[in-house]
Structure 1
Amino acid sequence: MKKGEKIIILIVALVCLAGCGTDNGKATESVVEESSVKENEINTTEQESVVATTEMESSVDEMGTKCEPMKESDAKDFWIDGNTYLIKMRYVMDGEESLFDSDGTAQIHKEREYKDGLIYNIIINSNDGNVKNRSMAHFYVENEKIYIVDDYDSNNEKIKDDYLQLVYQQKDIENDNGKGLYYSIVNIDGITKFKLYTYLVETNYYNNIEWGKERNINFFENGYGAQRDLLQVKFIKKN
Structure 2
Amino acid sequence: MTPVVPEPRAPRPRRNRLPRAGLVPVCVGVLALTAAGCADPASGQGAPAAAASSPGSPHSPGLPGTDAGAPTAAAPDSSATGPAPASKGAGAGRGPGGTASGLCRAADLGISLSDADPGAGQIHYTVRLTNKGASSCTLGGFPGVSLLRKDGSVIGKPADREGASHGTRTLAPGKSTGFTLHTHNKGMDDGGCWEKPALLKVYPPGLKDALTLRTDAPEVCGDTFRTSAVGG
User: Could you tell me the TM-score, scaled by structure 2's length?
Assistant: 0.30
Decide which structure has greater helix share: 1
Higher strand proportion: 1
- Normalising by structure 1, we get a TM-score of 0.29
